[in-house]
A and B are shown apart, each in its own frame.
Chain A
C-alpha cells in the first residue's frame, strides 16, 4: 500500500559547500566524548567510574528513570573524566581511547527467526535502544509502549546534509537485518520514505512499506512523512529511526558487535574541500576538520545540519545522532543599513528589496548573523508557506509560550518535534527561537501529561 507523497509547502535552502561524494578515513581520534545532553530528558546513572577500563559496547551509564535503557561506549578505552555543570549535572564523559578497539561480543541474532522479546532485550543491552526515538515528545523511546508504526526517512532534504544514498551504499545487508528486527516490534508497519528519483539502498528492502516522497525541504523530515502517512493521535506512539543508525543496529545483529562507525558529511562554505569521512560516534571533529582545510578562523562548527545541529568548538566532538558536520562563517559583525538596503547575497522569503526569489537555484554563503533583533511575533502567514504539516504553526508556538496544555494538545503537539519548526524559525522575521519554544512545550507536556 505504498503511496506517493508530494510536499508542496516548504523551502529548499541552497548553500555553498555541498560535500563531494568521495570517502576518506579520518585518523583515529585520541579522545571520545559522550554528552548526556544528546539524550533529551535522560538523567544518567553512572555504571563506570572515573579511571575504569571498558570495551566498545560496555555500558557507561543507564537512564535513571529506566534501568533497561543503557548507553554504551563507542570505543574501548578508559573513562578519564566526568565533567559536571550547574547542579552537578553531568555534561561530558571524556574517554581516552585504546589504540585498537576490542569489542564486547553480544552474540549473533538472526532477526528472521528471533522473537520480539529477544530483539528488544538485545537492543537494550547493546546500547542501540537510544537510536529509537518516539513521538510524541521527541525523546528516546519508552520501553513499555508498543509503537503503532515505525517511520524511517531514508533521505535528508536539509541544506548541506548527508546524502544517505552515498553514505549507506553497500549496507543493504545491515539495513535489511535492522528493519526486519524492528518490524517485529510493532503490530503496524515500518514505513520508509525515499526521495522520488533517488537510488536509495533502502528502496529494495523487505518487511517495510516504501513511500516515494518529493518536494522541497522538509520533505525529508520524518515528521513531515508521518503527518502525511499516518499522523500521531492522542494516546498513540510511533517510533522514528535515522537510516545511519539502522546500519549500527543491523551490524550488531549480524556480528554481535556494537560498531559505532559513522560516515559523516563534512560540508559548509568554510570547508576547502567538503567531502565524506569515515569516523566514529563521539570522536574529535578536528581529526577530519583540518584535513579538508578551513577558509578562515572566524567560523561556526555545527555537529549536524545548519537548521537543527548543535554548536560545537573546533576542538569539540561529534554528537551521538549527527551524521553531518557543517562549518559556516560566524556572523558577529555589524552591517551598515543592513535593514533597508537591497540585498542580493542572502536568502529571503519576501521580496522587500531582497532578490533571492529571482535566482532560485543560486547557492548562498550564509553566516550565523540573525539579520535583525528579537521581536514579538508580528508578521503572519509567512510560516504557513514553509510548513507542510496540517497545523497552525504560529498559534502552536503561542500556545507553547503561554503554556496552555489543552490548546497545545488540541493543535497537534503530539505529532511534532522541534526539527519540524526549523524552517519556520529560519524564515521568522521576529527572530524567535521556534525550536526551543517547541522543545520547552513538549517538555512541559511530558512532565504534566507524560
Chain B
C-alpha cells in the first residue's frame, strides 16, 4: 500500500509540470492509472496499448534468445565447420550463449536506451505522454541488424529513426513509415560498405579478414545472388542455424510467434497470409521463367530465380518481416480489405527485389517501406468502394 500511496502523492506533485510525462511513463509502467471514464461508454475493455505492445514483445523474445545462441554458434562454426554437422548438439552451449550475449545485449541496450531517451525528451518538450510504440521498435531493431554493427552507428540510426521516422509526425500512431525499418534503411544507405557483403553477418568475420584464419559469413541470399553454392540445407534455414541478422534466422520460431500473434488477435492474419501468398506467387513466376528456358545458367539472376519458390519464405528475413513488421497497424493498411492487397504486394515485391537487386539481396525491408507509403492509397480506394455504394443508393432513389 505504501508504494501506491507515495507514487500517487508524487503524481499529484508533478501534475502540470514539464516532468509530468516522464514521471507518468514510469508510474504507469508499475500501475495502471486511476483514470476513470467521464462520458460516453462508462466501462471499457481491459486491453490498452501497453498490453498490446507487450504481447508483440512476448512474441519476439524467443527470436531474441535464439539470436543470442546463434550469434555464438555462427562465430564458432565459421572457425570450425565440423560444428555444423550436428548443429542441434553444438547449438545450446554456454560458449555460444556467452559470446552471443556479449555481442547482442549491447545492441538491445543501445536500442532501448537511446530510443527511449529520445521518446522521453520529446514527450517532455511536447507535453504528451510517453507512448508505447517504441517498446516494440526497440525490440525489433537489435533483431534486424547485423551482429557486428558498431554501436555508434546504431545510436545514430536509432536517433534518426525515432526523430525523423516518428516524432516529427506526432509520435506513435501518426508515423508513415515503420520506425524499425526506417532505422535499418538508414543504416543500409548511410553505411553501405559496412552493411553489405559477406563480412558483417558473423561475429569476428570482419576483424579476421585478410588474416590466415579468416572466416567467411556469407548469407544464403548473398551466395545465391552471386550464383554460388551454399552449404546450408533447407532444414538449417527452417530451424535457423544460418548466418543473418540477429533475430530473423529461425523460421520455426517466427512461425510460433505468428501463431501467438494471430491467436491473441494482435497481429493481422490477413496481412501475414496474403504476404505469404504474394511471395509464393512471385517465386512461382520466376521458377516458371527459368523452366521456360528464358534465363540460362550463368545469367546473373539465375541463382535466385531458380531457387524453389517456397524456399524464399524460409531463407533471409522475409518471414520475420511479414510477421513482425508488415503487420504494424499504424503504417500498414487500416482496412480489412486493404490488408489483403497490402500484404500480397509486400510478399510479391520482396521476392522481386531479391532477384533483381543483388546489391541488397534482402528485399523485404524495401518492400515493406514501399508499401507503407502506398498503404493510405490502398485504403483510399477501398473506402471509395464503400462511398460509391452509398452514392449509387442515392442515385437509385432520386432517379
Contacts and interface: CB of A to CB of B under 8 A. Distances in A.
Interface of A: 13, 15, 159, 231, 233-236, 300, 302, 306-311, 326, 328, 330-340, 343, 346-354, 356, 366-382, 384, 390-392, 394-395, 410-412, 418, 422-423, 425-431, 433-436
Nearest to B338: A380
Contacts of B387: 410-411
Given A348-B45, A352-B52, 15 more contacts: A300-B42, A339-B29, A339-B48, A339-B51, A352-B47, A367-B36, A368-B37, A369-B34, A369-B44, A370-B48, A374-B35, A375-B49, A380-B268, A411-B386, A427-B47
Nearest to A422: B41
B41 A430 contact: no
B174 interface: yes
A423 B379 CA distance: 23
Of B31, B34, B47, chain A has the most CB atoms within 10 Å of the CB of B47
B336 to A, nearest CB: 6
Given A340-B51, A352-B55, A376-B172, A334 B39 contact: no
B131 interface: yes
Given A328-B43, A410-B387, A435-B41, A369 B266 contact: no
B42 A302 contact: yes
Contacts of B47: 348-350, 352, 354, 371-372, 427, 429
A305 to B, nearest CB: 9
Contacts of B332: 380
Interface centre among B8, B265, B389, B394 (most CB of A within 10 A): B265
B129 A373 contact: yes
Contacts of A352: 47, 51-52, 54-55, 264-266
Given A334-B33, A350-B52, A395 B40 contact: no
A18 B40 CA distance: 20
A311 B38 CA distance: 7
Interface in B332-347: 332, 334-336, 339
B265 A339 contact: no
B390 interface: yes
A429 B53 CA distance: 11
B393 interface: yes
A15 B45 CA distance: 13
B41 A350 contact: no
Contacts of A427: 45, 47
Nearest to A233: B394
A159 B43 CA distance: 10
B89 interface: no
Contact of A366 (B29, B43, B339): B43
A426 B393 contact: no
Contact of A371 (B7, B44, B330, B335): B44
A227 B360 CA distance: 51
A340 B50 contact: yes
B383 interface: yes
Contacts of A376: 131, 170-174
Given A334-B31, A370-B37, A372-B32, A348 B46 contact: yes
A412 B390 contact: yes
A410 B266 CA distance: 30
11 contacts: A307-B42, A308-B40, A343-B46, A350-B47, A352-B51, A373-B28, A378-B330, A384-B336, A395-B383, A418-B40, A434-B41
Contacts of B393: 231, 233
A334 to B, nearest CB: 4
Contacts of B43: 13, 15, 159, 306-307, 328, 347, 366-368, 426
A373 B30 contact: no
Given A340-B50, A340-B54, A350 B266 contact: yes
In the A-B complex, the 5 residue pairs with the closest CB atoms: A372-B48, A376-B173, A338-B32, A339-B50, A334-B31
B378 to A, nearest CB: 13
Given A339-B54, A429-B49, A429-B52, A370 B35 contact: yes
A351 B32 contact: no
Interface string B140-177: 00000000000000000000000000000011111000
Contact of B49 (A235, A328, A348, A372): A372
A380 B32 contact: no
B33 to A, nearest CB: 6
Contacts of A328: 42-43
Contacts of B35: 369-370, 373-374
B278 interface: no
Interface in B295-340: 329-330, 332, 334-336, 339
B9 interface: no
Contacts of A433: 39-40
A425 B52 contact: no
Contacts of A425: 40-41, 44
B9 to A, nearest CB: 12
B32 A369 contact: yes
A332 B38 CA distance: 12
B320 to A, nearest CB: 21
Contact of B172 (A347, A366, A375, A395): A375
Nearest to A399: B383
A368 B266 CA distance: 24
Given A378-B330, A426-B44, A436-B40, A371 B173 contact: no
A307 B39 contact: no
A347 B46 CA distance: 6
A375 B28 CA distance: 13
Contact of B39 (A234, A333, A431, A436): A436
B397 interface: yes
Contacts of B38: 311
Contacts of B244: none
Contacts of B133: 378
Nearest to B36: A368
B52 A378 contact: yes
Nearest to A430: B49
Contacts of B29: 339
